[in-house]
Amino acid sequence: MKHRRRFHPGKNRNGGGGGNNGNAMPAGGFPDDLALEEEMAEAEALGGTAVIQETVVNENGETVVITRPQAPAEPPKIIRVPDLKRRTAAELLRMAEEQGLENIARAKKHDLIVSLLRASAKRGDHIYTEGVLEIMSDGYGFLRGPDSSYLAGPDDVYISPSQIRRFALRTGDTVAGRVRSPKDNERYFALLKVDTINYEAPEVSKRKVSFENLTPLFADEQLKMERGNGTTEDITARIIDLVAPFGKGQRGLIVSPPKAGKTIMMQNIAQSIANNYPDVYLIVLLIDERPEEVTDMQRTVRGEVVASTFDEPATRHVQVAEMVIEKAKRLVEHKRDVVIMLDSITRLARAYNTVAPSSGKVLTGGVDANALQKPKRFFGAARNIEEGGSLTIIATALVETGSKMDEVIYEEFKGTGNMELHLERRIAEKRVFPAININRSGTRKEELMMDPGDLNKVWILRKLLHDMDEIAAVELLIDRMKQTKTNSAFFDSMKRN
C-alpha cells in the first residue's frame, strides 16, 4: 500500500484573522471561510488535537485522503488569553524574556501578548480566548476584550461571516472558544471552535428571543443596598433604600452638581450590589472621566469597569457605550440580571452630539435636535423583563455646571427615568455626606418593591422631614441612623420614639 504523508499542525492551511487597529484589512488578509469551517469540523471531531493527513491507495486502486490525530509527544499546554490580559506589562515582559523572545524591550502590552501567543502556537499549545463580539459593516467580526474597554488591538480574534451566520451571533455576544494562529500573510488569530456563547452552550443561543421582542415591566424586586456593617458607607446605602429604592429593571438618575459626592456614591452603590447580589452582572461605564478615577474604580469595585477617559475622542466614547449596551442586551436575552452604572449620561449625550451629523435644527445650548435620540435609546433599554432577566441602568446627570447644554440634556432626560436621586451643593458645602435632598428624591411604583409595613413607615418619615430645611433633614436622618446598624432596627427605634 503506497502512501505519502503531509503533516499539518492544527491543519493551519489558511491562516487566522484579518483586520488592523482600524479594522481595515489588506486584500488576502482574511482566512478562507470554507477552509476555516473545515478546520472547525476537524477540531470538533478530533478534540482539537494536531492532525496528520495521508493520501493512500486502497485495495480497489482508488486514491483516498484520510485524516487522523497525531500522537503528541507530550500533552499540549492550555493557554487562556484572558489570563494573560489580566497580567501587568512587567509580568508579561518577564514571561517573554524567560521564553527567549526578541525585540520586546519597549513593546506595548498588546504586542507582548501577541508575541507570547505566537510562541505558544509554535510549541503546539492550545489557545483559548473569550471576548465580546463586534460585527463590522463587511459582515466579519472581532472579539474585543473588556480589559482594554473594547478598543481594537492586535490581540483581537477574527470571526468569519460564516461562523456569525452559523451560530446566529450579534454584536455584544460574549464568545469563548479555541483559536488558531495566523499564517504568514495574516495578522490576527482566528476563532477555530466556539465553546460557549454568553456563558452558555451554543445551542441555547439559537433559541433566545431578541431583546426588542421581550415584554418590559415595572421593577418589582428591590435591590437592597444595605450591608448591615454599620460603616459610614452603609449609611449612604441605607438612606437610598429609604428615600429612592431601586430594583431589578430600574431606570434611575442621580442628579448632581459638581463636587457633591456622586462618584463616591456610585462606588458605594456598586460595592453594595457586588456584595449583596453576586449573581448580578455589574458593569461600571465611565465616560469622559479622569484616568485616576478610572483606576480607583477598578480597584474598589468587584465588577467589570469599562472607561473612555476625557482625552479620548467622542467617537471612542460612543463606541464604548454601544458595545456595553449591546453586551448587556445579549445577557438579558439569556435571562441574566445586568446592572449598568453610567457616569455620566450628560457627557455621553455630549459625545453623541459631537459625532451626530448636523440636522440643521439646533436646540438651546447647541444641542442638535437628533443628537439625543441614541443616548435616550441607551437609557431607555433599562427594563424588567416578564420572560426573565432585567437590565438596570443607574446614570448620573450633571447640573449647575454653568453650561446651558448640560441643563438642556438634563431636562430631556428628566421625565424618562423611574427613579431620581438628587444631590445638593448646599449640603455638600457643609461637608454633610451623603448630600441627598430627601424631598426631591423618589421612585415611581415603589409600592411594588417594598414591604407594605416598611413603606408606611417611610411615608411617615417623609412627613416628619418634609417641613424641615434640606440640610437639617438629612443631618437628623444621618444622626439617627448612626445609632442603629440596619433599617429594620431604625424603624423599631422610630416606633419606640
- Binding residues, by number, are 247-252, 259-264, 290
C-alpha cell belonging to residue 37:
469551517
**Whole-angstrom Cα distance, residue 15 to residue 192?**
11
Residue given cell 502512501 in the structure block: 3
Write out the residue limits of the CATH 3.40.50.300 domain(s) in the chain: 216-495
Closest CA to 351 of 380, 375, 382: 375
Tabulate helix, strand, coil % of the chain (nearest 5): 40, 20, 40
- Provide the H-helix boundaries in 381-469: 404-413, 425-429, 452-466
On whether the CB atoms of residues 234 and 228 are closer than 8 A, the answer is yes
- Residue 394 has a pLDDT of 95
On whether the CB atoms of residues 356 and 317 are closer than 8 A, the answer is no
**Superfamily of structural domain 75-81+119-204:** Nucleic acid-binding proteins (2.40.50.140)
CATH code linked to domain 216-495: 3.40.50.300
Give the residues of the chain that fall short of pLDDT 70: 1-53, 68-74, 497
- 340 forms beta bridges with 283, 393
pTM for the model: 0.81
Write out the residue limits of the CATH 2.40.50.140 domain(s) in the chain: 75-81+119-204
Residue given cell 421612585 in the structure block: 443
Residue given cell 475622542 in the structure block: 313
Strand pairing report for 174-180 and 157-159: unpaired
- Residue 463 has a pLDDT of 92
Closest CA to 390 of 341, 333, 448: 333
**Whole-angstrom Cα distance, residue 54 to residue 318?**
52
**Whole-angstrom Cα distance, residue 212 to residue 381?**
9
Residue given cell 441614541 in the structure block: 374
Closest CA to 191 of 209, 211, 173: 173
- Residue 36 has a pLDDT of 57
On whether the CB atoms of residues 257 and 406 are closer than 8 A, the answer is no
On whether the CB atoms of residues 328 and 377 are closer than 8 A, the answer is no
- Provide the H-helix boundaries in 157-231: 161-166, 202-206
AA identity, residue 471: I
Closest CA to 86 of 54, 113, 117, 46: 113
Helix (H) or strand (E) run with residue 34 in it? helix 33-46
On whether the CB atoms of residues 407 and 265 are closer than 8 A, the answer is no
DSSP letters spanning 352-402? HHHHSPP-S-B-TTS-BTTTTHHHHHHHHT-EEETTS-EEEEEEEEE-SSS
- Binding residues for ATP, by number, are 247-252, 259-264, 290
φ, ψ of residue 201 to 5 degrees: the values are -60, 150
